[in-house]
């Protein structure tokens, strides 16, 4: 199959392109940088240099690749998410998710692609009711401030993709990515925080995370290119876990001291409402649908295995 990957140079794009090539697909990867284009070519794909906001150039690039499927792995997040920053840390990604998706979808359709697979996240479910959510659960569209803007942009991306006419739309809601290049690798912001004892267990530590190793994310993306009904799929590992469980294991794995325990009201003063909301209210996700309908399952079934393996952690 011919596959066009937007975001081919990213944390998710790299393992995805490599695995698509290994599965025998003819891949064209997109980046804005000539240097990264060379890296894309090194793994056996073709590369095109293009900005998703240049709609005309994008249409030419996708038409020339003539893909059967387009994969949308575009984000523009900072290496550290500062929830108290003056500028909205999600703003560049929000634009990529709204305007970028519009451009990419139009280009995919103009090029006659049959399918588009797009990246969303599995950790924006509304923080009410059960702790593990399936794809039918509502998103946290009422989230305050910057989080609300991120949720709205995710919702926009998902609606554009799943409601698109003339092309099969698949949304993959990936869990918290760990592995090389992520917040959790050896130089990632979460590791830095753990080593500085700035990754505490807040309140009851009930905020529940669903993790996913980047290689498993790549495998799920290949599966969604090849098969599965249009729609939305959580792509997460088998063990959603509250912070009181995973934080001590992560700290131990990276050689940090035991995490501190901090009452929610104190954490709110220091880190802000949004960070405390995440630490105490976040919902995890179920991967049952992706396993059943995409025939995918994570090789690292639990973050426990992944965190313990320094190579996998990156």
Ligand X SMILES: NC(=O)c1ccc[n+]([C@@H]2O[C@H](COP(=O)([O-])OP(=O)(O)OC[C@H]3O[C@@H](n4cnc5c(N)ncnc54)[C@H](OP(=O)(O)O)[C@@H]3O)[C@@H](O)[C@H]2O)c1
Interface positions with ligand X (CB under 6 A): 7-13, 31-33, 36, 51-53, 74-77, 79, 96, 121, 174, 176-177, 181-183
In the bound state with ligand X, the residue whose beta carbon lies nearer, of 113 and 236, is: 236
In the bound state with ligand X, the residue whose beta carbon lies nearer, of 87 and 204, is: 87
Minimal CB distance to ligand X: which residue? Answer: 10
For the CB of residue 24, give the shortest distance to ligand X in the complex, in Å: 23
267: which 2 tokens? 């954490």
For the CB of residue 107, give the shortest distance to ligand X in the complex, in Å: 12
In the bound state with ligand X, the residue whose beta carbon lies nearer, of 7 and 268, is: 7
DSSP string for the chain: -EEEEETTTSTTHHHHHHHHHHTT-EEEEEES-HHHHHHHHHTT-EEEE--TT-HHHHHHHHHHH--SEEEE------SS--TT-SS-TTHHHHHIIIIIHHHHHHHHHHTT-SEEEEEEESS-B-SSS-SEE-TTSPB-TT--HHHHHHHHHHHHHHHHHHT-SSSEEEEEEE-EEESTTSTTSTTSHHHHHHHTT--PEETT---EE-EEEHHHHHHHHHHHHHS--SEEEEE--S--EEHHHHHHHHHHHTTPPPPPEE-HHHHHHHH-HHHHHHHHH--EE--HHHHHHH----SS-SHHHHHH-HHHH-
Residue located via tokens 């003056």: 86
For the CB of residue 265, give the shortest distance to ligand X in the complex, in Å: 28
For the CB of residue 156, give the shortest distance to ligand X in the complex, in Å: 16
For the CB of residue 99, give the shortest distance to ligand X in the complex, in Å: 9
In the bound state with ligand X, the residue whose beta carbon lies nearer, of 122 and 164, is: 122
CB 276 within 8 A of CB 144: no
In the bound state with ligand X, the residue whose beta carbon lies nearer, of 153 and 262, is: 153
For the CB of residue 261, give the shortest distance to ligand X in the complex, in Å: 25
How far apart are the two ends of the chain, measured CA to CA in Å? 30
In the bound state with ligand X, the residue whose beta carbon lies nearer, of 12 and 45, is: 12
For the CB of residue 245, give the shortest distance to ligand X in the complex, in Å: 18
In the bound state with ligand X, the residue whose beta carbon lies nearer, of 30 and 294, is: 30
In the bound state with ligand X, the residue whose beta carbon lies nearer, of 177 and 224, is: 177
- Give the integer Cα–Cα distance in Å for 225 and 190: 31
For the CB of residue 166, give the shortest distance to ligand X in the complex, in Å: 24
């Amino acid at each position: 199959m011919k596959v066009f990957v937007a975001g081919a140079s990213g944390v998710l794009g790299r393992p995805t392109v490599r695995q698509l090539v290994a599965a025998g697909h003819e891949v064209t990867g997109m980046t804005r940088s000539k240097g990264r284009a060379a890296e894309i070519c090194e793994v056996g794909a073709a590369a095109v240099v293009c900005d998703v906001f240049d709609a005309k150039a994008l249409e030419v690039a996708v038409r020339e690749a003539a893909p059967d499927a387009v994969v949308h792995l575009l984000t523009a997040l900072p290496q550290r998410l500062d929830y108290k920053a003056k500028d909205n840390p999600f703003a560049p990604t929000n634009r990529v998710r709204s305007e970028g998706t519009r451009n990419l979808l139009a280009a995919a359709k103009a090029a006659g692609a049959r399918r588009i697979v797009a990246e969303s996240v599995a950790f924006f479910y509304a923080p009410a009711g059960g702790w593990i959510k399936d794809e039918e659960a509502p998103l946290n569209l009422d989230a305050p401030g910057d989080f609300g803007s991120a949720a709205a942009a995710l919702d926009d991306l998902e609606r554009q993709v799943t409601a698109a006419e003339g092309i099969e739309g698949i949304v993959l809601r990936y869990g918290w990515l760990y592995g090389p290049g992520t917040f959790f690798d050896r130089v990632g912001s979460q590791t830095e925080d753990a080593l500085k004892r700035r990754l505490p267990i807040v309140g009851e530590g009930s905020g529940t995370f669903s993790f996913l190793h980047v290689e498993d994310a790549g495998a799920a993306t290949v599966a969604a290119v090849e098969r599965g009904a249009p729609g939305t799929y959580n792509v997460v590992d088998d063990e959603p876990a509250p912070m009181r469980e995973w934080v001590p294991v992560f700290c131990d794995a990276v050689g940090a001291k035991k995490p501190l325990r901090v009452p929610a009201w104190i954490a709110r003063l220091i880190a802000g409402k949004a960070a405390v909301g995440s630490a105490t209210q976040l919902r995890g996700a179920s991967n049952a649908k992706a396993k059943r309908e995409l025939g995918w399952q994570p090789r690292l079934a639990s973050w426990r295995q992944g965190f313990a393996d320094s190579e996998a952690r990156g």
